Structure 1
């Protein structure tokens, strides 16, 4: 059984993430979407909220599990029994960073391979940071994120007083 991990912050999950998840799920028997709890960052959404959003937008994908994690990706992969890490690439700048991370992970754990999927052209410009910036200024984010995520963004931003959506 081929088990893969698609790790990320997903703060929030975008159509680009959803596209990579759907395509990755078709490549492996089981896909674990690893939601990183990165203590060096200050995310808009808690890990629990991000897991909830991802569970909602992947509910029609039976071989996808959403699992929070912290620490090294290779340790998470070992604990999960995954042999493949899947990463999405939007641009050449992503590749430089992702290649370095893949090589580091492979050095630490030679049995874990990294597969790169290029982002669909429709989402090559899209990032969670962009979505948060558009939302913070009251812009329409419905073309960037699933409806459930847009509703969560509106609620969160209004609660924080950061926008008037």
Structure 2
């Protein structure tokens, strides 16, 4: 595993020989970029614990299985990428990936996305959103709405909520701390 650290708010993990992602290296991150440039399946990357906590951007240059792609929140793929037996064009039509990007600019685009997510969004709100979407789709409508209301009330009592309101009233950018 080769990794790069950017602004401390997101991390890029590039896998050659896939391993379990070390939890200790993912604390306090606001986004994660996974770069896949060779064949991989979901069992080789353990995302279950992460998919509810931070946005995962998958940069797909090689081949991956459908389950791995579905666990990531954003998927950018090159023209030559494959999801199972599907080409990236077919995967785009089936909405398995978000966009096909030129290989020369795909990593840059993923980094720009991670920067926007990590700098302009409240981390607790993003985490609550992911939980509401991922857990909510497994629930009946009424239970999903209850979960959403519960998460909203938890968010409303945070320092970040106060900071967001204060920044709006003062016409400045908020400085979210994840508290």
Q: TM-score range by the shorter chain?
A: under 0.3
Structure of higher CA gyration radius: 2
State the TM-score, normalized to the length of structure 1.
Answer: 0.27
